[in-house]
Amino acid sequence: DTGVSQDPRHKITKRGQNVTFRCDPISEHNRLYWYRQTLGQGPEFLTYFQNEAQLEKSRLLSDRFSAERPKGSFSTLEIQRTEQGDSAMYLCASSPNSRGGYTFGSGTRLTVV
Amino acid sequence: AQSVTQLGSHVSVSEGALVLLRCNYSSSVPPYLFWYVQYPNQGLQLLLKYTTGATLVKGINGFEAEFKKSETSFHLTKPSAHMSDAAEYFCAVSEVDRDDKIIFGKGTRLHILP
């Protein structure tokens, strides 16, 4: 098992374009989380899945953001009509439950120009 | 709702000196508490966690933390700092009974002086 994988590592996009990120969790973990981290801040919760069900969405997740986890395996996070304020590191994590701590991926750094 | 306050956004210690990173939490139910470390351009790595039982928790790389309910604190310590400890450290909390997501503090950047 190679841990949590995120793709791409870096993404530069023009304002107004759509972007999609992918996260592959540890295979036996049924919970998957998305966080956003801006410079000098801690990770901020965006959303999480238990298997294929999206259980909670933060109010940070505007209607331009959508996340899916088909079949309870990998997950995608899509941002439509990107804005400069979307520039951040997007972190994915997985866990068998919320009590053991998460395993994080290396993140996808998004830069909107 | 739970929250975490990390005192000091930057801490500098000399190599070989004691490391102390402070964390206070707020939670309406018994918390689970975590410390994570983040190296530049990388994800977060779990250092240690408190769930139940012994209040002094030992983690990786010689770090430990003590859960003090009366002080609502979970400070991170290491007896002797190494240059390789330079990184960003995040304290985090989740609420046991709610089986909820983890909420992170804003982080403390640890600088090690030669």
Identify which has the larger pLDDT, A37 or A60: A37
Q: What is the pLDDT of residue B101?
A: 82
Identify the closest residue of chain B to A58 by CA–CA distance.
B101
Confirm if B45 and B105 have CB atoms less than 8 A apart.
no
Bond prior to A8 in cis (omega within 30° of 0) = yes
Distance separating alpha carbons of residues A93 and B83, to the nearest angstrom = 28
What contacts B25, CB < 8 A, 6 or more positions away?
Answer: B2, B3, B4, B5, B31, B33, B72, B73, B74, B91, B93
Identify the closest residue of chain B to A10 by CA–CA distance.
B41
Count of all residues that appear for chain B in the document: 114
Kindly list the residues from chain B whose CB atom is less than 8 angstroms away from the CB atom of residue A38: none
pLDDT at A1 over 60: no
Q: What is the pLDDT of residue B97?
A: 64
Q: Which residue has the tokens 């210690």?
A: B13
Q: What is the pLDDT of residue B1?
A: 74
Confirm if A23 and A32 have CB atoms less than 8 A apart.
yes
Confirm if B87 and B110 have CB atoms less than 8 A apart.
yes
Band the pLDDT of A19: cuts 50, 70, 90.
Answer: very high
Kindly list the residues from chain A whose CB atom is less than 8 angstroms away from the CB atom of residue B102: 33, 45, 98, 101-102
pLDDT in tens, B72-113: 999 999 999 999 999 999 999 987 666 568 899 999 999 999
